[in-house]
A and B are shown apart, each in its own frame.
Chain A
């Protein structure tokens, strides 16, 4: 099966607003994703609350119930707003999906209506009495709910441990900030501040739109130009975002936090330069794959399969931030062994590079993943958005060619750039551990 050789049509709609369009009639469901990028800063809390408020109703669909009913009428279409951390950016994502026309009764295509609904979510929130930015009761309810939700995030052991790890490792850097803000920040918000956040997103967010699947080009383009194009409703100046802060650790730090958990959460973070260009990027990703990017990785094979020290262990590259992180759920009493084994595997990879079989398995995994991209709108959107964000603009086939050409020396060189920064353990108090059996 041939790799996807297509490149999406890249249509600049305005400075700082780009559309990647890849019509794919073979797919049954269409996807439209609008990413508004802003700095990961103190505005995160307002944007997180905004995302919740926008889903509480619009001028035309005044409650969440009405919005949900509209989506059901559109054959289970979706239109959602949310926020996430992308390197050191706060990415506000408006995502819409709908079933392709060939699976709906004749004349019942829903694309135009879904697009209208998506725009309505961002542009026409339900207002309060006397011109207030938001309905007072709804605002208070959602603000209190978000603050409660943030406070109970501690109950999500894995997610909470990861956030605490980022805070410990990247203290003082924007990356350490939780993209949902703190409960205190949320509680201090007022409707005008949140409305300002909404306008900031629309006016100043750097926008990448990806449209994939059974979508007609011209109506989509006309609607997007009218909305976010140069002469459209929000044709404003959108400043460039600052580059990520890349930390330079002096020595490995050890951080331990106590929580009443049964299983300890272990994280080990390494710094590396943000890759420049195609080869550096792929060498870093392949090196991560050899280390712990999947079941073929050394961490899974050695730490889990040979030494039975963890059920799940793996590593991940956050290329835009210059981070490589290892995470595992472990028995706290074996944290030292896990840490030493990870450090040993990293040192070994840097000293000797991968062996031929490891490299081939890592490449085979990538090859498989690249060939699979075309089978879902989400996979296609993720791939091309990432290419755009790193300025690489390759097709899966072009990316595969770069990967195939890499040899063990380049993988070794990538691993040599990893510098251990922070080992983090979230575990039960020592006294409780002593009582555990097994």
Chain B
């Protein structure tokens, strides 16, 4: 185990140690004096998009949609004993999550931190995946998938993804369709685990009131030794423009749910470039659609948007899009109003005073989200997996120039890069 860096962030009064194990696992440690809880997050860059890959041994592997999420469920089964029981005895809160490109597992506890860390690193590195265990889980996952499919917000979100992208894997939800869940086998999950769950792909982030050296000494023997080799994801080539101008679906909703998205032709890549792209794009969205924006206020006064309105920006290495959504009785008016507003905003450019105000608010947000050990551990895991320095976001926020914002606004809202998605009540005439 070697210490790679000690990163001081005096503005937040935080320090992070970054270390690396013999097997290549990167570790972040944040000491939080005076706090009772301690948190550990472990994760890797393997998510629901990775259903087709060449494993480190050079073989091409294709697994059902939802495999990364299924594997996450199965890891919680443990080898000898269920992870639920082991954490339960320790009183720790724990969970896991699978997104398009990452999987993570964590616990937060105020007691038995060392034992809980041992449980975490054991079940994530040493599973037992059998056909019987996989079969038993299918009913549970089916219910989880059905729960999400019943949610108009979730459903509409993926309808928009299918409008924006032709072939990209983010068109499919992380849980996968129910029929794909049912055709998943133990061999599929084992193939995913063997290809991706290798020490050098894992990142571990720990935060709490502990002695970092002592924790590193404890963690070192719990991490597996080197197992080199890199799996390579195989993705279909994605055209740079939206797949559909608009997709509609009939669903059991009382009123139309409307989404409008704008995609970039390609993703922003990795590391700091991605972080900067994310921050800049979010700033542009705030300037148009935050409650503090005169553009948004005008839409609100005109009744084009209401409190069901929301906006978001989402990207990873190979995709990038902004989206707005609302429940609207007049989807056409909503879409026209938003399109006209973003066009006017892109022409007018950002108001310098508004940029400064949002920067101030972002600082307050950064302070507020770096308080509890679990917040810090989660943020540092994201940095490790995103190949950025912890707290780099603060420097990015400070360094963004007005011209850059104006340029991004012009690129971001190009009409030819937009697509809409409508979830319409069953009894409503087609729009």
Contact = CB atoms under 8 A, between A and B. Distances in A.
Interface of A: 1, 4, 26-29, 52, 63-65, 67-69, 71-77, 97-100, 102-103, 141, 145, 148-149, 151-152, 154-155, 157, 259-263, 294-296, 300-301, 304-305, 308-312, 329-331, 357, 360-361, 363-368, 371-376, 438
Given A72-B292, A311-B141, A364-B90, A438 B178 contact: yes
Which among A262, A294, A371, A375 has the greatest number of chain B C-beta atoms within 10 A?
A375
A145 B307 contact: yes
B361 interface: yes
Contact of A374 (B36, B146, B151): B36
B253 interface: yes
A361 B91 contact: yes
B150 interface: yes
B139 A300 contact: no
B143 A331 contact: yes
B215 interface: no
Contacts of A98: 364
Nearest to A328: B143
Given A75-B361, A368-B91, A263 B111 contact: no
A330 B291 contact: no
Contacts of A28: 367-368, 370-371
Nearest to B83: A295
Nearest to B306: A145
Nearest to B286: A72
A155 B357 contact: no
Nearest to B94: A295
Contacts of A296: 84-85, 88
Nearest to A151: B254
Contacts of B147: 263, 311-312, 329
Contact of B365 (A76, A145, A331, A366): A76
A157 B151 contact: yes
Nearest to B208: A1
A361 B88 contact: yes
B359 to A, nearest CB: 9
Contacts of B371: 27-29, 375-376
Contact of A103 (B12, B85, B292): B12
B362 A76 contact: yes
A74 B357 CA distance: 9
Interface of B: 11-13, 34-37, 82, 84-85, 87-94, 108-111, 136-144, 146-147, 149-152, 178, 182, 209, 252-255, 257, 290-294, 296-297, 300, 303, 306-308, 327, 329, 357-358, 360-365, 367-368, 370-373, 426
Nearest to B33: A26
A371 B368 contact: no
A99 B368 contact: yes
Instruction: From A67, A312, A438, name the one whose CB has the most chain B CB atoms within 10 angstroms.
Output: A438
A143 to B, nearest CB: 12
B308 A149 contact: yes
A37 B197 CA distance: 52
The 10 closest A-B pairs by CB, nearest first: A76-B364, A364-B91, A371-B110, A68-B292, A68-B291, A308-B139, A296-B88, A75-B364, A368-B91, A311-B143
Given A75-B364, A76-B365, A364 B88 contact: yes
A262 B146 contact: yes
Given A64-B297, A76-B362, A309-B139, A262 B149 contact: yes
B360 A73 contact: yes
A364 B357 contact: no
Contacts of A141: 303
25 contacts: A4-B36, A28-B371, A64-B291, A65-B293, A73-B360, A76-B365, A103-B11, A103-B12, A145-B306, A145-B307, A149-B307, A151-B255, A155-B255, A262-B146, A262-B149, A296-B88, A301-B84, A329-B143, A330-B143, A331-B142, A364-B90, A367-B110, A368-B92, A371-B110, A372-B108
Name the residue in B35, B290, B303, B368 with the highest tally of chain A Cβ atoms < 10 Å from its Cβ: B368
B35 A152 contact: no
A52 B109 CA distance: 38
A294 B364 CA distance: 33
B306 A157 contact: no
Contact of B364 (A77, A154, A260, A261): A77
A148 B254 CA distance: 10
Nearest to B362: A76
A418 B84 CA distance: 27
Given A103-B11, A371-B36, A155 B254 contact: yes
A438 B142 contact: yes
Contact of A155 (B143, B152, B182): B152
Nearest to B108: A372
B358 A72 contact: yes
A364 B290 CA distance: 43
B93 A368 contact: yes
A180 to B, nearest CB: 13
A17 to B, nearest CB: 28
A368 B110 contact: yes
B109 A368 contact: yes
Given A99-B364, A361-B91, A371-B110, 17 more contacts: A28-B370, A65-B292, A65-B294, A72-B358, A75-B367, A76-B361, A103-B11, A152-B308, A155-B257, A263-B146, A296-B84, A312-B147, A329-B143, A364-B91, A372-B108, A375-B36, A375-B371
Contacts of B13: 102-103
Contacts of B182: 438
A310 B364 contact: no
Nearest to B95: A295
A343 B91 CA distance: 26
A65 B307 contact: no
Contacts of B209: 1
Q: Which of B88, B94, B290 has the most CB of A within 10 A?
A: B88
Interface centre among B34, B82, B293, B362 (most CB of A within 10 A): B34
A37 B363 CA distance: 34
B275 to A, nearest CB: 20
Most A CB contacts (10 A, CB to CB) among B34, B85, B291, B300 go to B291
Contacts of B307: 52, 145, 149
Contacts of B255: 148, 151-152, 155
Given A27-B371, A331-B143, A375-B373, A305 B84 contact: yes
Nearest to A26: B34
Contacts of B111: 1, 364, 367-368, 371
A308 B96 CA distance: 19
A311 B329 CA distance: 34
Given A28-B367, A103-B12, A295-B84, A65 B146 contact: no
Contacts of B91: 361, 363-368
A26 B371 CA distance: 9
Contacts of B297: 63-65
Contacts of B37: 371-372, 375
B146 A69 contact: no
A308 B254 contact: no
Nearest to A313: B143
Contacts of A63: 297
B300 to A, nearest CB: 7
B254 A152 contact: yes
A146 B169 CA distance: 38
A29 B364 CA distance: 9
A29 B368 contact: yes
Contacts of A310: 140, 143
B365 A376 contact: no
A381 B261 CA distance: 39
Contacts of B139: 308-309, 331
Contacts of B426: 260
Nearest to A331: B143
Nearest to B77: A305
Contacts of A97: 368
